[in-house]
Structure 1
Amino acid sequence: MHEDRLRHLLDLIRGGVLSRRDALRRLAGLGLTAPMATQVMALAGVSPAAAQAPGAEPVRRGGGGPLRLLYWQAPTLLNPHFATGATNQDASRIFYEPLAGWAADGTLLPVLAAEIPSIENGGLAPDGRSVTWKIKPGVRWHDGVALTADDLVFNWDYARNPATAAVTAGSYRDVTVVKVDDLTVRVEFRQPTPFWAETFVGSRGLIVPKHLFERYVGAASRDAPANLRPVGTGAYRFVSFAPGDVLHASLNPDYHLPTRPFFDTLEVKGGGDATSAARAVLQTADYDFAWNLAVEDDILKRLEAAGRGRVVFIEGGDIELLHLNPTDPNREVEGERSHASTTHPALSDPAVRQAIGLLVDRDALEQFIYGRGGPATGNVLNNPPRFRPPQPSRAFSVERANEVLEAAGWRRGPDGIRAKDGVRLRFVLQTSVNAPRQRTQALIKAAALRAGIDVEVKAVAATVFFSSDVANPDTYTKFYADLQMFTTVMTQADPQRFMNQFVSWEMASRANRWQGRNIYRWRSPEYDRLFREAEGELDPIRRADLFLRMNALVLADGYVIPLVGRPRVNAHANALRPVLSAWDNTLWLLSHWGREGG
């Protein structure tokens, strides 16, 4: 049995997220008999009455005082449809909600929905061509206007409009949303669709109010005042926001769960670095929670020894990838570098890509840098388990890299750097400012130099690198470098949305304001075909096989090099009870966060 999974289930029960019946069912899934599960809940201080229904505990709203969160990569906007990067998605999630979210065990929990659709309750069509969602009655926006089906239909129209350039467009583009009545919508698919929990679900399903955004559709979408002053349905209401710095919110007295939330005020402080954030929670206790602690594991262990907080590792599908640019970042076409019509003068050679892959020592990254926070992997797709392929070879060999380059005609010059037909192997490797990433850059640079490749390392402030600023050349979505490194987040317990980051129609470009999910500019007609087939494959075994074949295609081409898996690593004060999931935003169920004894 996994201790962390058991602890998480007990937190969900204490917080009133799960009914007693659901709790017993899930504990049974961990191998506990019903009597044993009941005894475990009792020993953990969970009474039968406390686990009867969602919202049963606590008995009143508020009284928890301030909740202070540290996000060292600070958010820069508060519209979920433009939220590139996890920090912007999390900040938007404070105010906006989806119909349902993904719990830690990969199941769906209703948020704005009255229930999760199923064949039994008539929500799922047996032929896989539609799903019907019922909205929870009585939900109101923060300004008092009622949430209705019209808001959902509007979000569909808003996000799928190409001129809006929404990062969520892929979740709405290929469906039709029909209003059934004031509190019901039907999402219709073009074909039988096995993964129906996409539109209005999870991190890309947050719903914004029609009455505040309907004047700002398409080309005017970036002008909406609510992009920075959100009016949502969430447990906390907007107070103030300084992009790149600090966000303040306060308890929503009209939240649709009568005894939620617990905390009276919320502060999300941005900036600094991950190590300082860890210290502020684990050592000095100045903050309650620190997000995404990409910190060397030995440092985390030393800080945790102070006894003021704990580090939590939640395994999911997030992964740190090294990307090799198929396009030319130094050539401009129609005012755009890394244009899809260009080809990289050196990385287009498979031998160069193979050599770079041999120069990445993943095992050293795990052993000496990431530890518990970065298990080495050679796969892009690592979770959920039923979609996990066998580990490919993770060979590290400078000698073999030299042999590959020599055989391909790349000869060393007087300075030791290889060249061929006037093209020298000189690359810029960029990533965000972060100690483990800078150490990773140093390892790659040192190994590359031994193979005759000159790597210039470039570190960009996280608030710039992960921002949505269309005017800034250093954002990761523009990819104006030869090599690039960051973590790709998997926010669903299904690989479909995760793996669409490699399809050709999602390529980031000036035309879509660099909002396309395919930041890598990688293209493969065979990958596109397999992805389309998986979208309509109802047989779970055949569908899993299609995703495994997609993973193999990405690896074979060598433009994308997996480094380490990235379990969600956060720290929180000992008394804080966050409800976390690796399959959704960190703040996916902020309404249910509490403190021991509160």
Structure 2
Amino acid sequence: MKQRFTLIGAATALALLPVSAMAERGDSGHLNVIYWQAPSIMNPYLSGGTKDVDASNIVIEPLARYNPRGELVAWLAEEIPTVENGGVAEDLMSITWRLREGLLWSDGTPVTSTDVAFTAEYCMHPEGGCAQLRQFNGVESVEVVDDLTVTVHFDEATPVPYGPFVTGFAPIIQAAQFADCLGARAPECTEANFYPIGTGAFRVTDFRPNDVIQFEANPNYRDPALPHFATLTLKGGGDAASAGRAVMETGEMDYAWNLQLAPDVIATMAQGGQGVPISAFGTLVERIEVNLTDPSPDLPPETRSTREAPHPILSDIRVREALSRAIDRELLVEIGYGVAGLPGCNLVPSPPAFASDTNADCVTQDMDRARELLDEAGWEVGGDGIRVKDGQRLVLDYQTSTNAVRQDFQALIQQWWREIGVEANLRNINASVFFGGDPGSPDTFQKFYADVEMYANNFSGTDPAAYLGQYLCGNEPRPDTQWQGENINRYCDPAYDALHDELGRTANTEDRARIARELNDMLVRSYTIIPLVSRGRVSARSVTLEGVDLNVWDSETSGIAEWRRASN
């Protein structure tokens, strides 16, 4: 009987494997995985969508990850650098990483520190747009010390230096493959973006955007007994319901990601006996993002992407607060998630020390206060019940991805908003397009050509500093960044930026937690973000699939090398 090991770093893990678990690579045959939000690209630096990050992490890997228990562990690196072991400078101005010896790319060439340094150059290029730029906040330079050693230098003391090259959001890419893909040329490198050369357990053999990806075991993977599967199909498209049925009812698939379904639907599927749901709580928050700029199609893209043209309605905080007060979050949880959800009032819901307790009043729906706020803002109820001000009706375009739970949420929120005099035009967009990051598409969440939009994302690891850095001035997606960037609201507050800088200089854990809570509160109390539900991650695995440990602190595919077919 094969035995499972904890994710504590590949080198240590291999040493701990009992002889009985040492099997030949590919001994489990073929693995079928379904992501109903189909991956559009295999490069997380050109897409912030979880579907694309997870798909790419099957092939490309970081120096370190967080394991399913939220612990930082070495991956491609020999060890985690710290002040105690000399890897982090005592003045906190640099961190030095050393690669494990003998690492090979899937094409058989050696992995070197030049690849690591190039990865930073690729993401930080001033003429490009990097979806994960926040991972490199504060980086001044990356120095190649020798073939296996690289030092990251920061522009100021950085007590928590585990942003660059850490987690599935910041993996190492091969310098030779991406050498001609810097800056504005990055989106043009189709071969590299669809077929990256990696160090992961698998390599891509066929990539069809927004459809299906075929993989085979990487012949140069560092562990000769892994991966257990010889080949892998990642099927994209459909919806969460069909994905869940494919695992738990029909058994066509071995693993289904992100089952954003009503709890009774999941329970019914599980009765099929072919698979079981798995879940865990982390930092995933379903929320409404508010556009602070004018999305009018009459404006040029450069104007629509900046604060140059403030939103004609939503620039008033009273309107934004009214939209939030009108929502019954407890009912949303009941309908959409059951025990896999909690009413959400924070952008950062965990770890507990980082979760603010000052926003709990959002749980109580307050229609009277919502109406008062709109009255105060000068919006008067018209003959059809929709408010009017200076001849303009209070009408908002409300978009999200296509998903049954999200469409249920849209319908409920549309009803609640209408009760306070706000009309919402609903639109849902194919998830592969919405989260795809295609700079040529008008329908991506980054372009945000709507008034409000709804989705969920989370941060890896247990420290939210980089995540909160999304909302710094200058991080907005815009044409000159190929529409990459994470400040999709176009929020900009110098006080927020200054406080985030303070967080970057703060070492004490309690002080870091306090500052992070304050940053969270600035975003939430300004109603730039309207949290709805703190979501547990729910996926499903086949009853014949072993070795799966749902990781909500990093990429969900980070442990895929260990997945295996159950022994008879």
TM surpasses 0.5? yes
Query: Could you tell me which residue of structure 1 aligns to residue 509 of structure 2?
Result: 540
- What is the DSSP-based 3-state SS (H/G/I as helix, E as strand, rest coil) of the residue aligned with 1:315? strand
1:478-510 deviations in Å (ceiling 9; x for gaps)? 011011100022222210121112211211222
Distance of 2:494 and 2:116 partners within structure 1: 33
Report how far residue 335 of structure 1 moved.
5.0
Gaps of 5+ in 2: none
Give the match's secondary structure for 2:117: helix
Query: Secondary structure of 1:317's match?
Result: strand
Query: Among 24, 48, 52, which residue is 1:60 paired with?
Result: 24
Matched, 1:356 2:320: no
Name the structure 2 match of 1:464.
Answer: 433
Find the partner of 1:385 among 352, 357, 372. Answer: 352
Counterpart Cα distance in 1 of 2:347 and 2:286: 9
Correspondence 1:370 to 2:340? no
Determine the structure 1 residue equivalent to 2:145. 180
- Matched residue, 2:5: 15
The answer for the alignment partner of 1:78 in structure 2 is 42
Runs of 4+ in 1 over 6 A off after TM superposition: none
The 1:16–1:371 alpha-carbon spacing in structure 2 relative to 1, beyond 3 Å, is closer
Residue number among 366, 376, 394 corresponding to 1:407 in the alignment: 376
Measure the CA separation in 1 of the matches of 2:375 and 2:137.
Answer: 47
- 1:552 pairs with one of 508, 515, 521: 521
| 2: CA distance, partners of 1:522 / 1:153 | 31
1:244 corresponds to 2:216: no
Q: For residue 417 of structure 2, what is the aligned residue in structure 1?
A: 448
**Maintained 8 Å contact 2:7/2:559:** no
Number of equivalences: 561
Which residues of 2 match residues 183-262 of structure 1 at below 5 A?
Answer: 183-224=148-189, 225-262=191-228
Question: What is aligned with 1:514?
Answer: 483
CA–CA separation in structure 1 for the residues paired with 2:417 and 2:129: 38
Preserved contact between residue 55 and residue 258 of structure 1 (Cα < 8 Å)? no
Structure 1 unpaired stretches of 5+: 1-10, 24-49
- Aligned counterpart, 2:79: 115
Cα distance in 2, alignment partners of residues 55 and 279 from structure 1? 37
Shift of 1:126: 2.6
Query: How do 1:10-49 and structure 2 match up within 5 A?
Result: 14-15=4-5, 17-18=7-8
- Distance in 2 (CA, whole Å) between partners of 1:257 and 1:214 is 28
1:524 corresponds to 2:524 = no
Note the 1:283-302 alignment, pairs <5 A.
283-302=249-268
Are 2:471 and 1:502 aligned?
yes
For normalisation by structure 2, the TM-score amounts to 0.95
Q: 273, 294, 298: which is aligned to 2:239? A: 273
d(CA) in 2 for partners of 1:464, 1:568: 22
Q: Secondary structure at the match of 1:492?
A: coil
CA shift digits 1:544-583 (9 cap, x unpaired) = 1110111111111112100001221110012212233111
- How many Å separate the matches in 1 of 2:281 and 2:274? 23
Structure 1 pair 530–79 and aligned structure 2 pair: CA distance change class (3 A): same
Shift of 1:244: 0.4
Map of 2:284 onto structure 1: 318
User: What amino acid is the match of 1:449?
Assistant: R
User: Is contact 2:48–2:132 with CA below 8 Å preserved after alignment?
Assistant: no
Does residue 159 (structure 1) correspond to residue 159 (structure 2)? The answer is no
Deviation at 1:434, TM superposition (A): 0.3
Asked if 1 retains the 8 angstrom alpha-carbon contact of 2:124 and 2:136, the reply is yes
How far residue 340 of structure 1 moved from its aligned partner, in angstroms, is: 2.2
For residue 375 of structure 1, give the secondary structure of its aligned residue in structure 2.
Answer: strand
Q: TM-score, normalised by structure 1?
A: 0.90
Distance 2:20 2:114 in 1: 31
> 2:72·2:461 contact (CA, 8 Å) conserved in 1?
no
Are the equivalent residues in 2 in contact too, given 1:16–1:51 (CA < 8 A)?
no
Change (3 A) 1:361 1:290: same
Residue 179 of structure 1 and its aligned partner are, at CA, apart by: 1.2
1:475 corresponding residue in structure 2: 444
Kept in 1: contact 2:28–2:230 (CA 8 A): yes
Note closer, same or farther for the CA distance 1:96–1:55 as it changes in structure 2 (3 Å cut). farther
1:57 positional shift:
3.4
Shift of 1:51: 7.9
Identical columns (%): 37
Q: Which amino acid aligns with 1:316?
A: G
CA distance in 1, matches of 2:515, 2:482: 31
Q: Are 1:14 and 1:51, in contact at CA under 8 Å, matched by a contact in 2?
A: no
Asked which structure has the greater RCO (Cα within 8 Å, sep 6+), the reply is: 2
What secondary structure is seen at the aligned counterpart in 1 of 2:441?
coil
8 Å Cα contact 2:459-2:553 kept in structure 1: yes
CA 54–347 in structure 1, closer or farther in 2 if over 3 Å, else same: farther
Q: Which amino acid aligns with 1:337?
A: R
Flag the 1:263–1:505 CA change in 2: closer, same or farther, 3 A: same
1:387 aligned partner, one-letter code: F
| C-alpha distance in 2 between matches for 1:527 and 1:18 | 36
| Paired residues of 2:301 and 2:479 also in contact (CA < 8 A) | no
CA contact (8 A) 1:16 1:53 kept: no
Q: Match for 1:91 among 50, 55, 60?
A: 55
The answer to whether the 8 Å contact 1:132/1:185 transfers is yes
Q: Which of 331-340 and 392-401 deviates more?
A: 331-340
| Equivalent in 448, 453, 458 of residue 489 of structure 1 | 458
**1:168 maps to what in 2?**
132
User: Secondary structure at 1:14's aligned position in 2?
Assistant: coil
1:101 partnered with 2:65 = yes
Paired AA for residue 360 in structure 1 = I
Contact 2:286 2:455 in 1 (8 A): yes
RMSD over aligned CA atoms reads 2.1
Distance 1:400 1:119, change over 3 A: closer
Q: CA deviation at 1:408?
A: 3.0
Q: 1:103 and 1:549 mapped to 2: Cα distance? A: 28
- CA deviation string 1:461-486 (max 9, x = no partner): 11111111111111110011011100
Q: 1:377 to 1:56 in 2, by over 3 A?
A: farther
After superposition, the Cα gap between the structure-2 partners of 1:453 and 1:17, relative to the gap in structure 1 and judged at 3 Å, is closer
| One-letter amino acid of the counterpart of residue 392, structure 1 | A
User: How many angstroms apart in 2 are the aligned matches of 1:388 and 1:169?
Assistant: 24
How far apart are the structure 2 equivalents of 1:63 and 1:336? Answer: 56
Assess if the C-alpha contact under 8 Å between 2:63 and 2:77 holds in 1: yes
Query: Structure 1 residue 253: deviation in Å?
Result: 2.0
The residue number in structure 2 matching 1:5 is none
Judging changes above 3 Å, is the alpha-carbon distance between structure 1 residues 335 and 257 closer, same or farther for their aligned structure 2 residues? same
- SS of the aligned residue for 2:410 comes to helix
Structure 1 residue 337: Cα displacement: 2.5
Which deviates more from structure 2 when the two are superposed, residues 397-406 or residues 455-464? 397-406
How far apart are the structure 2 equivalents of 1:112 and 1:253? 17
* Alignment deviations for residues 295-350 of structure 1 (CA, whole Å, 9 cap, x no partner): 11110011112222111111111101111211111151455534321111111222
Task: Give the 3 Å change call, closer, same or farther, for CA 388–335 of structure 1 in structure 2.
Answer: closer
The residue identity in structure 1 corresponding to 2:325 is L
